[in-house]
Structure 1
Amino acid sequence: MTEAIYLEVSEKTDAAMKANRQVSVSGMLKILGVSRSGYRAWQNRKTSSTQQRRDAVKAKIMVIYDESKQNYGAPKITKKLQQEGEIISERTVGKYMSQLGIKAQWAKPWTITTKDSDFSNELQNILNEQFNPERPNAVWCSDITYIWTTVEK
């Protein structure tokens, strides 16, 4: 919670400096109810080694994702990272990808929906246009049509 306040104060002071205005940081912190010493400590705080590693892994994930033309998901990115020597799980890569706001592209499988127009060798007309069979279930007819539909959840 206080980190969000510190970020806001920092952004406001940066904007004021760019606009050549003077802003009372102490006054802002007093109004917001946080201490000056806490703000200064937050400003001077260095990122931890864990956070540095996370940022480095996220950068590698973005590089691999962009090299794959934004197609790879967590499983393939995990394999690439492991080949590079990183020790990381697929779940962690998926979590980092969601934090970065990226996800794999799903390629729709291509299905052949038409055949060659020359059916003379393969198909035989065994009905000879006699559509009134002598008994039930003697003649069956079907047609296959591929129609893409959307599935609503």
Structure 2
Amino acid sequence: MISFIDEHRSRLGVEPICRLLPIAPSTYYEVIAKRTDVDRLSARTRSDMAMKIEIRRVFNENFQVYGVRKVWRQLQREGFEIARCTVARLMRVMGLQGIIRGKPVKTTVSDKAAPCPLDRVNRHFKAPAPNMLWLSDFTYGAPRPGWSGVHMTGMH
């Protein structure tokens, strides 16, 4: 049935044919989406398919540690004309990520046994009059010379 619809769809249309045959248009479109007829794919999709193979090859040849920049540069050295953002997009789609050097920054070590402070305003941050409600917040920032690393802001 699918081949019959393919044959006559340009002249009659998919939906009218499906009304006469015992097949839903959604079923036809689902089958079409699953098959890989390369000639029907867009130029970008065909290019992406070819570049995914090369990206995976470069990534695997380099012990799966190369990130976007190094994969892109290796492909450039090998003569492939591909944009860095395209390599980034395809690696993201493929779930490939290079190794990140250094330790992850851990800014907070919470004590699960310590009691949490109470929410004394019950998430109502509007004061009925000036000077009636004061809030504070602690924000951690990366330390630099002459700065303690903790900044306290007050609002009223």
| TM-score (structure 2 length as normaliser) | 0.44
The higher-RCO structure (CA 8 Å, 6+ apart) is: 1
TM-score for both structures, normalised by structure 1: 0.45
- Which structure has the greater CA radius of gyration? 1
